[in-house]
Chains A and B, each alone.
Chain A
Amino acid sequence: MHLGNGLIIALTPVNLVYTFIGALVGTAIGVLPGLGPPATVALLLPVTYKLNPISGVMMLAGIYYGAMYGGSTTSILLNIPGEAASVVTCIDGYQMARQGRAGPALGASALGSFFSGTISILGLMLIAPWMASFAIKFGYPEYSALVVLGLMMSIYLSEESVLKGLMMGALGLLLGTVGIDPVFGAERFTFGLSRLTDGVDFIVAAMGLFGITEVLCNLESPEIREVFKTSLKKLLPTLDDWRRSWTSMIRGSVIGFFIGALPGGGGVISSFVAYAVEKRISKHPERFGKGAIEGVMAPEAANNASSTGSFIPLLTLGIPGNATTAMIFVALMIHGIRPGPLLLQEHPNLFWGVIGSMYIGNVMLLALNLPLIGLWVRLLKVPYRFLAVIVVVICVIGAYSVNNSVFDIGAMVIFGVFGYLLRKGNFPAVPLILAMLLGRILERSVQQSLIMSGGDVFIFIQRPISVALLLVAGILLLTPAVRWVWRQRRVFGF
């Protein structure tokens, strides 16, 4: 079973349609500020219930990497990032637009994304089977340690302070315990509400925290709608542009791929790091910030590569590294597919089919993003309040459809308001959602480990792999603590 079979699966008419829908929706939400991949994937999850899992994941994946393509459009034309991962693109991209070079900027972004998308799929294809065969040897203790490390890494890499990230992680763990305890069957924190016996619904929480919250935040800021009136006829970068930026494209792709593969690393970090690297090694760093094409090429290549790279932990280890892959994780579970090292063996159709669809999706996205740019720009002219209401209505439908209950809509609104307050207080939402999902898994996994060891808690330290993983997690945890203590040294008297 390999890529050839995967491409055949991806090229069936049904799958082509769903890949296209994913790419289209992805581009749209990438262009439109205010709705991102996690919320959209959460919203379209219920749609995938009726589909076969392969088509469903193809579509959801398409939304994710499609959004990375679309996000650069508003960054370049409006200095407003459509996606958090396209913030860096604003810096040089908007300058290029002001110099009348919006076309080449958009072109470079799309072509760079295509290149990075393609080679990162190649990377995924080559690395995943190897990682899966390595991870198959993992038992429950190793898996528990891995989950802990994954959570720690996503906290460490989040943009806010590690302290707040850890708080959100702890909160997520707490929320994950709501419902019936997996071992004893005791009811935890259900307040007698039968709705809560299954726990807080993860999809509903994600729709609230990433969908409703985003809308609420966007409603607060004044409407800025001054679309750049530039002729978008020349969409291709010149030969000179290519000469300057082709190495940035490669560097961005590699950086993005590896950072994306880390839990917690995603488009945002990849794009920042790629930009910083370009500026550092450039012979003319003063050009950055004034319309340097490398400043557009590198981050755009990086954010695309990171979205593909983030499928590695999901598909090989069964651990999602960000909110979007967490939703795809849930989608797989709903279809009865256990994400984990055995996924490649048990569901090769799914793995290779999705990879095949990624190649095809990238080609579709190139077509969607270059010639159809004018269409997307027109979409931006709609006043935000219409988009806000549409998004909210879709969120409401999405929340309702999970369990046909109005309670879930209410829960989603509560999460939305909560998320809005968290934003105001600079608390990161990603560790919260990841901990909600992984916390439950972690608890079960730890229980299993203890059953294996007959109650011996040292099992986690006795096995080499789990020790190594826990050690790294511990270092990530302690580094900020050590730094803090060092800063307080006058207080502590040394």
Chain B
Amino acid sequence: MRSLGDIIGGGFFLALGIWAMIGAYRLHVGTIAEPQPGFFPFLGGVTLAALSGILLSQALLGRGKGTGAFGAVWRPIAMILGLVFYVAILDSVGYIIATIVLSLILLRALGTKTWWVFVVAALCITFGSYILFDRALGVTLPRGLIGF
């Protein structure tokens, strides 16, 4: 049975390995007795490329386990998009606002229907974590529009 995951994975890592080999070559590889900066990266790259080649050829020949099935994949995607958005706005609006927004969006996207439940939860999570980490444990979180 053809394993799509192995084909994609093998192909991707093969390309990555070759790219690393080229990059390492530019840094000068040297020899095992006198390694230059590119030596270890080259070693890593060539190993990765060779092994990926084997994986890819095996996968194309049809040998391999199946790929993991995708379940409700929109949920992880929602999480990822939420996090990307979060990273984009964090420095400008500060921890408190950003985290409230993130929690609201995520909890709603992931299924909480009753609006006051996720508002309360978002506030609790945000302020709870803020008090615990910023105040009690001394981790400085980004200040933002509110000023704390």
Contacts and interface: CB of A to CB of B under 8 A. Distances in A.
Interface of A: 46-47, 50, 163-164, 166-167, 170-171, 173-174, 177, 181, 183-184, 186, 188-189, 212, 215-217, 219-222, 383, 385-386, 388-390, 392-394, 396-397, 400-401, 404, 406, 409-410, 413, 416-417, 420, 423-427, 439, 443, 446-447, 450, 455-457
B87 A393 contact: no
Contacts of A394: 129
A189 B41 contact: yes
A170 B111 CA distance: 40
B139 A397 contact: yes
12 contacts: A163-B55, A167-B13, A167-B51, A174-B45, A177-B41, A216-B80, A219-B75, A385-B106, A388-B79, A400-B139, A424-B68, A439-B44
Given A400-B141, A409-B87, A424 B51 contact: no
A219 B48 contact: no
Contacts of B33: 450, 455-457
Interface string B98-116: 0100110011001110000
Residue of B13, B41, B141 with most chain A CB atoms under a 10 A cut-off: B41
Nearest to A422: B9
B54 interface: yes
Nearest to A171: B48
B67 A219 contact: no
B9 A401 contact: no
B79 A215 contact: yes
Nearest to B78: A219
A413 B90 CA distance: 14
Nearest to A216: B76
Interface in B39-92: 40-41, 43-45, 47-48, 51-52, 54-55, 65, 67-68, 70-73, 75-76, 79-80, 83-84, 86-87, 90-91
Given A171-B44, A173-B44, A406 B90 contact: yes
B137 interface: yes
Nearest to A404: B140
Nearest to A413: B83
A385 B111 CA distance: 8
A392 B110 CA distance: 14
A173 B37 contact: no
A328 to B, nearest CB: 19
Nearest to B31: A457
Contacts of A406: 87, 90-91, 142
A123 to B, nearest CB: 35
A117 to B, nearest CB: 28
Given A173-B40, A397-B139, A424-B5, A389 B125 contact: yes
A395 B41 CA distance: 30
B133 A401 contact: yes
A219 B73 CA distance: 8
Interface residues of B, number: 64
Interface of A is mostly: helix
Interface of B: 5-6, 8-9, 13, 16-17, 20, 23, 27, 32-38, 40-41, 43-45, 47-48, 51-52, 54-55, 65, 67-68, 70-73, 75-76, 79-80, 83-84, 86-87, 90-91, 99, 102-103, 106-107, 110-112, 121, 125-126, 129, 133, 137-142
Contacts of A393: 99, 102-103, 125-126, 129
Contact of B35 (A189, A420, A447): A447
Interface-centre pick from B17, B36, B37 (highest chain A CB count, 10 A): B37
Most buried by B among A186, A388, A426, A447: A426
A128 B35 CA distance: 35
A186 B76 contact: no
A427 B9 contact: yes
Which among A167, A186, A427 has the highest number of chain B CB atoms within 10 Å?
Answer: A167
Contacts of A450: 33-35
A425 B68 contact: yes
B72 A219 contact: yes
Contacts of B110: 219, 385, 388-389
A388 B80 CA distance: 12
B5 A425 contact: yes
Contacts of B80: 216, 413, 416-417
Nearest to B84: A413
A426 B87 contact: no
A50 B137 contact: yes
Contacts of B87: 406, 409-410, 413
Contacts of B90: 406, 409
Contacts of A164: 55
Given A167-B52, A167-B55, A170-B44, A186 B79 contact: no
B51 A170 contact: yes
Contact of B107 (A171, A386, A425): A386
Contacts of B139: 46-47, 397, 400-401
Between A219, A410, A457, the greatest number of chain B beta carbons within 10 A of the residue's beta carbon is seen for A219
Contacts of B23: 188-189
Contacts of A424: 5, 67-68, 70
Contacts of A171: 13, 16, 44, 48
